[in-house]
Structure 1
Amino acid sequence: MKSSKLLIVFALIATSAYSDTIEMTVNGLVCGFCAQGIEKTLRKNPATADVLVSLENRLVAVVTREGTDIPDTDLRKALTNAGYDVKAIERTHRSVNELRTVLKEGK
């Protein structure tokens, strides 16, 4: 019984240690230059592990490094200062590869 409880605790700790993804719906993305600028801006944050920008889907996704986070206010400020309108921010556990697959499938 003790060992099963310990396994559950370790499983919970392990899943909370994975990197998270912050997905944002952003208006104003119109060209590749927009995507490059956003990516460059977001990669400056030390908590950023990866960035995905989809112009077609108005999606900006930031994968954070394990054990780190970027506050919504910081993300919103960075994108607003760059001239974009952040409509929604959602935290998920989807990887960049999973997001790319979903975007390719048009879901």
Structure 2
Amino acid sequence: MKKLILSLTILFATTTSFAAEVETVGVKGMVCSFCAQGITKKFKEQPEIANVDVSLENKFVKLTYKDGQKMTHEKIQTLLKEAGYEASFNK
């Protein structure tokens, strides 16, 4: 029984330490599904990104980073600006 508890504890600790970081960024100027597709494509091209979820209705992009990686706010702003949008970060 002790071995089972120890194994489960180690497994839980290992999986939580590798949890991917997620960041949600508001997007000003996004008005159609074509906009959402363009933003998705732009961010999926970036090496730090594991997954992109764009909400046209709520005007945000949720970025899931690869383990141990993150994108600076400046880079996010630049990518969105180049695509014709403005980033909005929660402070």
TM class by shorter chain equals 0.7 to 0.9
1:17 aligns with 2:18: yes
Identity %, equivalent residues: 36
Give TM-score, length-normalised by structure 2.
0.78
Whether the 8 Å CA contact 1:18–1:67 is kept in 2: the answer is no
CA RMSD after TM alignment? 2.1
Aligned partner of residue 77 in structure 2, secondary structure: helix
Q: CA deviation at 1:34?
A: 0.3
For 1:1-107, what aligned pairs fall within 5 Å after superposition?
11=13, 15-89=16-90
Q: How far is 1:18 from its partner?
A: 1.3
Structure with max Cα Rg:
2
Query: How many correspondences in the alignment?
Result: 82
Distance 2:72 2:86 in 1: 17
4+ aligned runs moved over 4 Å, structure 1 = none
Match of 1:45, SS state, is: coil
Partner of 1:94: none
| Unpaired segments ≥5 residues, structure 2 | 1-8
- CA-to-aligned-CA distance 1:38-70 (integer Å, 9 cap, x gap): 000000111111001111101111100111111
Q: Distance in 1 between matches of 2:65 and 2:45?
A: 12
Superposed displacement of residue 14, structure 1: 5.5
